[in-house]
């Protein structure tokens, strides 16, 4: 297992874990849809009620996962694996939107000899309207955090 | 995707139609990792996964599984409903060869203003029936003779009369 930079007590709630801007283009959406083998008119042509193409609701959090959370977690806390996740889908994400994401470390806890951190990402459009919330809890795998060893 | 789903059409205890994906292959996993630019070696490096991380095989991506859950819900909610909230846990690993079945069951229906707030128990089972991704979702549905769920969705609409 790799060593980690932060000790458990040094993990500070409120720490910003990353920022990202993602331009939602036709090409980005087409690539995602082909990967998922998705052929739903909302996403492919912009069927009613939206009127123009929207992204699958979870696409933005997925594209943002590395720069918003994982780069920080892997670099500072070491290996980790997702234990829980929660989304709120507040508004559709249209092609042409540039989505702005910011991530924060919001919770840490110990349970059954394991240690966990929870990070939260907030995604907004250019006007600051919230589009998606993503809250995920990662179990820490490094021996430094394994209370069972 | 269902055509139109209304509050009038559902009851507590009702099962959602299943969404079946698989058998998952290493090609699925590699393609997904590429699309997500997720280069964690447990998804493509068999030796690393099995010898270093002592896993049974390379892993089906968790983010792939969460997408199946969301696809499962949006297909059910159709063009009239809004999948508002979703949470789940990753309790089980999935490997190439697994077939994943998304399932769901309505656990509660709360009438809020002109809409219904529907609680759904969901999960992903493998071909052996083992549950690996249990969770819950909240879906907002209109009444057949009521106003449509607004787009973009605003939770304040639930408190209007």
pLDDT tens-digit profile of A33-53? Answer: 888 777 888 888 887 777 889
Q: Searching chain A, which residue's CA lies closest to the CA of residue B79?
A: A49
Mean local confidence (pLDDT), B35-54: 85
- Closest C-alpha among A149, A67, A135 to residue B89: A135
Question: Is the predicted pLDDT of residue B33 greater than 70, yes or no?
Answer: yes
Supply the mean pLDDT for chain B. Answer: 91
Question: CB B86 to CB A82 under 8 A?
Answer: no
Most A CBs within 10 A among B28, B86, B102, hence the mutation to make, goes to B86
CA–CA–CA angle B102, B103, B106 (5° rounding): 145
Query: For position B2, what pLDDT does the model report?
Result: 61
Tell me the pLDDT tens digit for each residue of A124-145: 999 999 999 999 999 998 777 7
ipTM given for this complex: 0.71
Residue B150 has pLDDT above 50, yes or no: yes
Task: Give the pLDDT mean for B69-88.
Answer: 92
Collapsing DSSP to helix, strand or coil, A30 comes out as: helix
Neighbours of B144 (CB within 10 A): 12
Query: What does the DSSP assignment read for B88-157?
Result: EE--S---TT--EEEEEEEEEEEEETTEEEEEEEEEEE-TT--B-S-EEEEEEEE-TTSPPPPSS--GGG
Q: Is the pLDDT of residue B6 over 70?
A: yes
Instruction: Name the residue among A84, A87, A92 with its Cβ closest to that of B151.
Output: A92
CA atoms lying within 13 Å on the CB side of residue A101: 27
pLDDT surpassing 90 at residue B4? no
pLDDT of residue A149: 45
Question: Residue B53: its pLDDT value, please?
Answer: 82
Return the ∠ at Cα B30 (arms to A81 and A65), rounded to 5°: 40
Structure tokens given for A23:
């331009």
Interface test with A, best of B36, B75, B91, B155 (most A CBs within 10 A): B36
Contact A84 B87 (CB under 8 A): yes
Residue B1: pLDDT band by 50, 70, 90 thresholds?
A: low
Which has the higher per-residue pLDDT, B116 or B40? B116
Q: For A8-41, write each residue's pLDDT tens digit.
A: 999 999 999 999 999 999 999 998 888 877 788 8
* Mean pLDDT within B113-138: 96
Q: What is the pLDDT of residue A1?
A: 47
Structure tokens, B75:
């297909």
Q: Which of A13-22, B117-126, B151-160 has the lowest mean pLDDT?
A: B151-160
First-to-last CA distance in chain B? Answer: 29
pLDDT at residue B47 tops 50: yes
Q: Comparing B21 with A48, which gets the higher pLDDT?
A: B21
Which range (A136-145, B52-61, B97-106) has the least confidence? A136-145
- Residue pair A59/A98 in contact (Cβ under 8 Å)? The answer is no
Q: Which residues make beta-bridge pairs with B130?
A: none
pLDDT at B108: 98
pLDDT tens-digit profile of A57-67? Answer: 889 998 998 89
User: Do residues A53 and A102 lie in contact, with contact meaning Cβ atoms separated by under 8 Å?
Assistant: no
State residue A38's pLDDT score. 79
The predicted structure's pLDDT at residue B5: 94
Q: Identify the pLDDT of residue B161.
A: 56
Per-residue pLDDT for B145 more than 50? yes
The distance between the two most distant Cα atoms of chain A, rounded to a whole number of Å, is 56
Min Cα separation B10/chain A (Å): 22
CA neighbor of B32 nearest in space, from A78, A34, A103, A147: A34
Q: Mean pLDDT, to the nearest integer, of A117-128? A: 97
């Amino acid at each position: 297992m790799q060593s980690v930079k932060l000790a458990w007590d040094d993990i500070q709630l409120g720490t910003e874990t990353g920022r990202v801007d993602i331009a939602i283009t036709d090409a980005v959406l087409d690539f995602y849809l082909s990967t998922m083998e998705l052929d739903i008119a909302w996403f492919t042509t912009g069927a009613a009620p939206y009127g123009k193409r929207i992204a699958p609701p979870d696409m933005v959090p997925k594209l943002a996962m590395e720069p918003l959370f994982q780069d920080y977690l892997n670099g500072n806390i070491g290996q980790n694996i997702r234990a829980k996740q929660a989304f709120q889908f507040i508004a559709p994400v249209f092609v042409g939107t540039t989505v702005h994401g910011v991530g924060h470390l919001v919770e840490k806890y110990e349970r059954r000899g394991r240690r966990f951190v929870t990070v939260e990402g907030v995604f907004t459009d250019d006007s600051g309207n919230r589009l998606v919330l993503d809250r995920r809890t990662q179990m820490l795998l490094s021996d430094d955090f394994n209370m069972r060893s | 995707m269902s055509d139109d789903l209304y509050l009038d059409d559902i009851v507590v205890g009702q099962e959602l139609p299943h969404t079946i994906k698989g058998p998952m292959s290493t090609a699925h996993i590699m393609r997904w990792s590429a699309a997500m630019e997720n280069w964690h070696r447990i998804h493509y490096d068999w030796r690393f996964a099995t010898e270093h991380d002592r896993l049974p095989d390379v892993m089906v991506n968790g983010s792939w599984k969460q997408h199946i859950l969301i696809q499962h819900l949006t297909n059910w909610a159709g063009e009239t409903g809004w999948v508002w909230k979703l949470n789940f846990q990753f309790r089980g690993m999935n490997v190439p060869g697994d077939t994943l079945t998304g399932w769901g069951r309505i656990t509660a229906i709360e009438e809020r203003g002109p809409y219904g707030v529907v609680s759904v128990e969901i999960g992903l089972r493998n071909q052996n029936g083992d549950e690996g991704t249990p969770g819950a979702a909240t879906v907002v549905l209109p009444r057949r003779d009521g106003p449509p769920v607004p787009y973009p969705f605003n939770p304040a609409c639930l408190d209007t009369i």
